[in-house]
Every structure is written in structure tokens, then in C-alpha cells.
Amino acid sequence: MNPEMWHTVDDYISSTLIGPDTALDATLAASDHAGLRAINVAPNQGKFLHLLARIHGARRILEIGTLGGYSAIWLARALPADGALISLEADADTAKIARDNIASAGLADKVTVITGLAADSLHELIRNGTAPFDLIFIDADKSGNPDYLRLTLQLARAGTVMVADNVVRSGRVADRSSNEPDAVGIRRYFDMLAAAPGIDSTAVQTVGIKGWDGFAISIVSDPAAASAALR
Ligand code: SAH
Ligand code: DHB
Ligand code: MG
């Protein structure tokens, strides 16, 4: 393990394949200025999410955990002109910063940031009969992942892709002696993915400027069957 090399390679990848980006750079600067923790996805991870959304042809995206809007901007840029992204953020001040950043990036017409605990907002979206999402990115409190899976399945269709960030946590996910809420939440999330019919999943580990972590990725084929099994 050589975290210094992980940084060097991430910088190499991002400088060769991504390069500077006025709106995203301004988003990180404004987020830093506002005192937000720099726990947004890395540039190459943001572009990975963006490409995934384009590969999938996503028109409706749901994000759980907005922070300053960095990943939301990457994802929203993948949308067609009439596409929409809804992002859920618990903290009202953080949500305001994100809305400002998203507006500066020219994406205000496609993105809605909803303030409130994600579980409450998800219940509200379900109650309102919100149309299903094509892509769902789960990236808030990891202890909430089991709830977010149960709830987002009610906002999914056959073909919905789900991605969860931070599922490795420097290996803690596989350390059964770790009782940290994030590790426990992620293990429960994995167990639920494994147990439910109608959803196929894997996870990949990542190293880079975010340390040692990973993404879980799933495709839902039968949201009703998955929901029923997880009740
Ligand atoms: N997706 C962002 C990073 C999100 S960081 C990016 O990559 O750019 C996690 C965010 O989830 C934080 O802003 C935090 O305030 C928010 N959060 C934590 N618990 C939450 C909850 N229960 N409901 C909604 N948002 C929550
Ligand atoms: C942390 C990193 C994340 O990407 C995230 O979504 C939440 C927390 C962290 O490093 O603490
Ligand atoms: Mg994250």
C-alpha cells in the first residue's frame, strides 16, 4: 500500500482525462470557503458516475447526500435537456451552498435539492407518487443505507441502477469486529442486496485521493419482489 502513489496516479488520471473545469473548481472552492468537509467524490470518480449515467441513458437521477453539489453537478451534466436530478441533503445551510453551486454551473433548471433527513424526503417522494428514477446514488450517512435501499426500491423500476459510495471504508466493511455505524450499515446493505431477489449487485474497491474505499453497484430487475423480500 502506498497512498502517496495513489495520489500521484489520481492526479495523473484527472489531469490527463479530465482537466480543469471552471464550474467544478468553483464548487470545491465555495464549499471549502463555507467550511464544508472535503468528502465529495474525487474528480475521476465524479466522471465515472457521469459516464455511468450516460451509458445507462439516465433521464431521472436521485442522489442521497448533496454536500456542496459536486457529484450532483457531474451527474446532472449527463442528463438530456428534459432530464431531472433530485438530491437530498439533511443540512439546510449545506443545501443552500449546493443550490448556489449548481446554479453557477448552469444546472438550476435540472436539479432540485430537497432539505431534510433523507428518509423523510424519500417517504414524501413515495407518498407523492414520484416517477421512478433511472439511477440512484446513495452517498449520505452510511448507517442509513439499509433504510435508503428499502425506500428507494419504491422509487425504482425494472432497470434502475443503484450506486452506493464508501462501501469499503479502509477495509472496515469486512472487519466483523468493527461496530462502527458506517461499517455496520454497509454490511447490512450488502446482506440485503444479497438476500433480495430482483436485484443484482457487485462492489469494487478503489484507492486514490479519497484513500481506500469503494462503490457498490446494482441493477434492479424486479423492484416489487426486492421490496417484498426486504420488508
Ligand atoms: N455526494 C456528495 C458528498 C456527500 S457527503 C459528493 O460526492 O459531492 C454526505 C452528505 O450527506 C453530507 O452533506 C451530509 O450533510 C448529508 N447527510 C448526512 N446524513 C444525512 C441524512 N440522514 N439525510 C440527508 N443527508 C444526510
Ligand atoms: C466520508 C467520505 C465520503 O465520501 C462520504 O460520502 C462520507 C464520509 C469520510 O471520509 O468521512
Ligand atoms: Mg461519499
- 106-127 pLDDT tens trace: 999 999 999 999 999 999 999 9
pLDDT in tens, 34-50: 999 999 999 999 999 99
Judge: domain 3-229, CATH 3.40.50.150: yes
Amino acid letter, residue 80: P
Which amino acid, residue 42?
A
**Predicted pLDDT at 24:** 98
CA of 41 to the centre of ligand 1 (A): 12
Tens of pLDDT, residue by residue over 186-199, are: 999 999 999 999 99
Ligand 1, closest atom to CA 140?
A: 11
Handedness of CA 139, 34, 113, 108 (dihedral sign): negative
pLDDT class of 150 with cuts at 50, 70, 90? very high
Mean pLDDT for 150-179 is: 96
Domain ranges for the chain? 3-229
**CA neighbor of 174 nearest in space, from 203, 209, 139, 199:** 203
Report the residue among 166, 170, 189, 212 best suited for mutation to probe ligand 2: largest number of ligand atoms under 8 A from its CB. 166
Quote the CA–CA distance of 104 and 46 in Å, as a whole number: 18
Centre of ligand 1 from the C-alpha of residue 184, in Å:
18
Secondary element (H or E) of residue 211? strand 211-220
- Cα–Cα distance for residue pair 162/135, rounded to 1 Å: 6
Say yes or no: CB of residue 137 within 6 Å of ligand 1.
no
Contact 223, 157 (CB under 8 A): yes
Report the pLDDT value the prediction gives residue 1, as an integer from 0 to 100.
66
Q: Which residues contact 45 (CB under 8 A, 6 or more apart)?
A: 165, 206, 208, 210, 215
Per-residue model confidence as pLDDT tens digits over 59-101: 999 999 999 999 999 999 999 999 999 999 999 999 999 999 9
Q: What is the mean pLDDT of the chain?
A: 97
Cell 433504510: give the residue. Answer: 147
